[in-house]
Structure 1
Amino acid sequence: MGLDYVKGFFTIAVLKIAFINLVCGILVGVCYGFVPVHTTFITIAENCTLYESQDACATAIGTTCHWGPSTNITSNKNKCLFPELVDCHTLDHTSPDECSQLSYCTWSYADSLCQHAAGYTAVQSGIFSGAMVIGALIGSSAMGQIVNRLGRKKAIAICGACALLCSVVVHAASATLLYGLLIPARLFLGVVVGGLCCVGPMYVDEMVPQDYRNPVGMLFQVFFTGGMLLASLLGFLLNPTDFTVDVKMAIRLQGLDAFPTLASLAVLITGLFMRESTKWVKDGGSAPVTATETLQLLIKTSYEPTKHHQQVQQYSWRDMKLELFVALALGMAQQMTGSNAIFNYAPNITKSMNLQPLTGNLLVMGWNFFCSVLSIPLSSKFSMRQMFLTATMAASLSGLMTGIPVYPGVTTEDTRSALAAVGIALFLLAYEIGIGTCFFVLAQIMFPESFRARGSSFAMVSMFLFNITVTICFPIAVEALSGGPSGDQNKGMGITFMFFGVCGLVSWGILYNFLKPYEA
């Protein structure tokens, strides 16, 4: 990467186009990063046993806590108790089977004790995490037609306005802790997310100079991981540490919700003031760029034998069946290697490695962002195909490296934690250097121009279908494979990550043979 190339990258013209990926990627990332922090905050808000004084106990939200002696101990020492007035910690239940005799108690293998169940159940966590992804599936499937009809500028502005409205509803849901209101708000927010995953990279692909297409295109994933890092950082800073006083969880939840709101406003403002895609205007779009540019464009297309007037080969869905199959494999590699299992449930996963939930979440997201930045200089030396294939193989092996030692009995606890931490770190490195960053570029360039809007939309739909599968099923599968809520969750975690590794190897085999993009 020469000095002239770097200087060209930082010109105003290129940076203005890259800014679209910044605002779109940040919003998508913040919405994804919101999930693990919000889930952890709900658990804190509803866990009566965390509150260490009578005044603090009275401020707990989401459940009715009582300050007084537990009914299952003879000591006069008062505690903050759940409505059952039972302290699961002090029960004479020293095994998972004994602990699970009471429906409101669950065994924690990480802490080796019986504790009161608090926060979302596995099913509720799956639905909460998956609601936005289901919406994203809808948004990505519809965006191909919307951007061709309305243009890129209007599509981004509409996405920003809708995201802002959804964010207001999320504020209301957090203020009232209404799970039933939060789910539809996240669902409709997902429609926006899916749309932005299509229109943002599409606009950049059409507007950026050819020499900078790969690095600028990869910025969408970089800013996406940056948004996730911002959400995890805010969660870490808002995480309460002193439970002898009112921790004001309602205010902390509102502070967390403020990030998606600000990001939505940024997308709306950007959509209102950005310039329209010149390619869309040239291909028959009705929205002008500027009066002068439109007049120049009309004169040029009237008197010059441009590509617009040449016969452009049109492709049907049948003609593109191989490319569509490859797009399906791209989506499989992007999601079924376990990325969103780590992103959405990082606090739970890192807790099994003896880290505090939100501390572990911040470390995962910080490393994830750093790895995505590394992909930019590599994109000028290697093709998208080379980077994606290499990363898919590495991520698959990392999944196996994470899953095998986590499975109970394979190794000691200290060795398990160390190997699992290294496995996840290597997975994120591979994912962000190749899979995550290259996907949004490949989803554009693997299709010919006349089929690109439909093909890119299909690639996003495929990715979100696999995303839904992982996001919703991961906590449920881990719990079921572990033998229930009181089972050793490391068993289910180990099996699931080994499954991710196998899925990655299968997708790598397909892509190695058939991934041949139209453009390098």
Structure 2
Amino acid sequence: MAIRLGRKGALLMNNVIAILASILMGISFPTGLFELLIAGRFLIGINSGIGLCVQPLYIGEFAPKHLRGGLAMGTSIFLTGGILTGQVIGLRELLGGEKHWPLLLSSSCIPAFAQLLFLPWFPESPRYLLIDRGDELSCAKALKRFHGSSEYRREMEDIQRECFALDGEKPKKPWQLFTDPGVRWQLITVIVMTMGQQLSGINAIYFYATYVFEQAGILAEKIPYVTLGTGVCECLTALSCGLLIDYVGRRYLIIGGYLLMTLWCTVLTFSLTYQELYSWVPYMSMTCVFAFILSFGLGPGGITNTLTAELFVQSSRPAAYMIAGTVSWISFFTVGMLFPFIVNGLKQYCFVVFLLECFFVAAFLFLIMPETKNKSFLEIKKEFHKLNFGRNARKKETELFERRQLQDEFLKIST
């Protein structure tokens, strides 16, 4: 969809799926047909999958490189804001009761209608227009809208360099990335990051939150309100990460986030083990839950999507998002299916599995991933050359240098 319809076109078409899903879920109760509810949930899942791939792709392509991290973090900021909104309006006093749940499920059409109303006024992705469509005039117009008449030339030159380097290369299919040595380590990095994000234990923490709050002495009827604190934590950390990402850098935040999650998993394992010994231990467990969520939001929660856009050039980026999205949802599904069995078998020691996973992901990223802050997509690609080509890296760098000189000459003539 992102290649055939464009990034903006795919997002607009995706709203039709969301509206249809909302209608099916809304009429399932008055018609008494639970099959409509299942169909609606299926369609809203498709809508989520498309949106979480295409939206960061669109933002990552029009953002200037010095603001790319902060703008890409908008996905996580509003995603966590949506989760918190859902938690609030899902309370029994609002729309979570027996009478109003059809309205609750149908409310997913509101952002879809809002996007259909406002998105047509925004330009298409400038990179898509020039590199995929070859439409230089529309690209220049889009850049002027996004960056202003005085600043757009620098971005235009950057896109022209990438277009020249790709030399008419068509968008790749997902399976082609697995056989392309030029993106081998970028692909491995993205797969490790997306699997790490879902298998980090964040879903286990949410699963265990109710138990931890009960052990801390919080009344069962009050727990839904305390759980709102987890949503607030995610919102605050996503916002903090958005403010820090273009100053601190992606590498420090994501590695630091995983290391902190390793620490809190360790502490939580001990506190759950000795829950009954001291009266203050359950409160330590509750603190660990919030600290883990804060650490996740500060690093892996938001930066994973940002890096998926940055590690690939235009021809590989849509396919990379398809692979990353598929790996992410399969990992999420796997955790959902297997976690109850892990809990039954290991009890509180289930978090040992997650602390090991967080530590190994942090170690992998420390060894492999370069910093991408304030770098163009071509510069990031060059960072991976030595890993991808090994002994042949020198030869490839020479070819790249010669190609870069030709690009600069070409841009001078064009200007």
Amino acid corresponding to residue 508 of structure 1 in structure 2: A
Alignment of 1:338 onto 2:201: yes
- What is aligned with 1:160? 15
Identity of aligned residues (%): 19
Structure 2, unmatched stretches of 5+, are 145-152, 376-415
Amino acid corresponding to residue 114 of structure 2 in structure 1: A
Equivalent pair of 1:333/1:504 in contact (CA under 8 Å): yes
1:275 shift after superposition: 2.0
1:209 aligned to 64, 77, 83, which one? 64
Give the alignment's Cα RMSD to 1 decimal.
3.3
Equivalent pair of 1:384/1:438 in contact (CA under 8 Å): yes
For the pair shown, the structure with the greater C-alpha radius of gyration is 1
The residue correspondences of 1:87-126 to structure 2 (distance < 5 A) are none
Measured at CA, do residues 309 and 373 of structure 1 come closer, stay the same or move farther in structure 2, by a change above 3 Å?
Answer: closer
1:350 shift after superposition: 3.6
- What is aligned with 1:307? 161
- SS class of match (1:147): coil
Higher helix share: 2
1:386 and 1:217 mapped to 2: Cα distance?
A: 17
- What is aligned with 1:357? 223
1:498 aligned to 346, 349, 352, which one? 352
1:174 shift after superposition: 5.1
The residue correspondences of 1:366-377 to structure 2 (distance < 5 A) are 366-377=232-243
2:298 and 2:315 mapped to 1: Cα distance?
A: 29
Measured at CA, do residues 411 and 471 of structure 1 come closer, stay the same or move farther in structure 2, by a change above 3 Å?
Answer: same
Measured at CA, do residues 285 and 344 of structure 1 come closer, stay the same or move farther in structure 2, by a change above 3 Å?
Answer: farther
1:292 and 1:432 mapped to 2: Cα distance?
A: 36
Measured at CA, do residues 270 and 495 of structure 1 come closer, stay the same or move farther in structure 2, by a change above 3 Å?
Answer: farther
Measured at CA, do residues 346 and 167 of structure 1 come closer, stay the same or move farther in structure 2, by a change above 3 Å?
Answer: farther
1:232 and 1:348 mapped to 2: Cα distance?
A: 18
- SS class of match (2:312): coil
1:474 and 1:287 mapped to 2: Cα distance?
A: 49
- SS class of match (1:148): coil
1:400 and 1:422 mapped to 2: Cα distance?
A: 13
Amino acid corresponding to residue 474 of structure 1 in structure 2: F
In the TM superposition, what whole-angstrom CA distance separates every residue of 1:29-75 from its partner, at most 9, and x where no partner exists? xxxxxxxxxxxxxxxxxxxxxxxxxxxxxxxxxxxxxxxxxxxxxxx
Measured at CA, do residues 388 and 231 of structure 1 come closer, stay the same or move farther in structure 2, by a change above 3 Å?
Answer: same
Amino acid corresponding to residue 157 of structure 1 in structure 2: L
1:424 shift after superposition: 1.1
Equivalent pair of 1:389/1:511 in contact (CA under 8 Å): yes
The residue correspondences of 1:57-136 to structure 2 (distance < 5 A) are none
The residue correspondences of 1:147-226 to structure 2 (distance < 5 A) are 147-173=2-28, 180-226=35-81
1:229 and 1:420 mapped to 2: Cα distance?
A: 22
The residue correspondences of 1:46-61 to structure 2 (distance < 5 A) are none
Equivalent pair of 1:151/1:287 in contact (CA under 8 Å): no
1:416 shift after superposition: 3.7
1:467 shift after superposition: 1.4
In the TM superposition, what whole-angstrom CA distance separates every residue of 1:71-115 from its partner, at most 9, and x where no partner exists? xxxxxxxxxxxxxxxxxxxxxxxxxxxxxxxxxxxxxxxxxxxxx
Larger mean CA deviation between 426-435 and 410-419 belongs to 410-419
- What is aligned with 2:294? 429
1:334 shift after superposition: 1.0
1:417 and 1:176 mapped to 2: Cα distance?
A: 46
1:228 shift after superposition: 0.7
- What is aligned with 1:284? 132
Measured at CA, do residues 440 and 274 of structure 1 come closer, stay the same or move farther in structure 2, by a change above 3 Å?
Answer: same
Equivalent pair of 1:218/1:437 in contact (CA under 8 Å): yes
2:113 aligned to 265, 289, 301, which one? 265
- What is aligned with 1:293? 141
- SS class of match (1:414): coil
Equivalent pair of 1:166/1:186 in contact (CA under 8 Å): yes
2:334 aligned to 463, 469, 484, which one? 469
Equivalent pair of 1:276/1:288 in contact (CA under 8 Å): no
- What is aligned with 2:283? 418
Alignment of 1:326 onto 2:180: no
1:348 shift after superposition: 5.6
1:280 shift after superposition: 1.1
Measured at CA, do residues 233 and 327 of structure 1 come closer, stay the same or move farther in structure 2, by a change above 3 Å?
Answer: same
Measured at CA, do residues 498 and 181 of structure 1 come closer, stay the same or move farther in structure 2, by a change above 3 Å?
Answer: farther
In the TM superposition, what whole-angstrom CA distance separates every residue of 1:113-155 from its partner, at most 9, and x where no partner exists? xxxxxxxxxxxxxxxxxxxxxxxxxxxxxxxxx2011101110
2:139 and 2:310 mapped to 1: Cα distance?
A: 31
Measured at CA, do residues 322 and 358 of structure 1 come closer, stay the same or move farther in structure 2, by a change above 3 Å?
Answer: same
- SS class of match (1:211): coil
Larger mean CA deviation between 322-331 and 469-478 belongs to 469-478
Measured at CA, do residues 231 and 418 of structure 1 come closer, stay the same or move farther in structure 2, by a change above 3 Å?
Answer: same
Tell me the TM-score normalised to structure 1 length.
Answer: 0.60
Matched pairs, number: 350
Equivalent pair of 1:394/1:430 in contact (CA under 8 Å): yes
In the TM superposition, what whole-angstrom CA distance separates every residue of 1:301-349 from its partner, at most 9, and x where no partner exists? xxx9943662427685231222221112101221111223345775565
Equivalent pair of 2:15/2:113 in contact (CA under 8 Å): yes
- What is aligned with 1:95? none
- SS class of match (1:412): coil
In the TM superposition, what whole-angstrom CA distance separates every residue of 1:371-410 from its partner, at most 9, and x where no partner exists? 2211122113211111100111111221222233224x55
1:214 and 1:292 mapped to 2: Cα distance?
A: 23
Measured at CA, do residues 391 and 292 of structure 1 come closer, stay the same or move farther in structure 2, by a change above 3 Å?
Answer: closer
1:265 and 1:472 mapped to 2: Cα distance?
A: 34
Alignment of 1:514 onto 2:379: no
Structure 1, unmatched stretches of 5+, are 1-145, 241-247, 482-490
Amino acid corresponding to residue 104 of structure 2 in structure 1: L
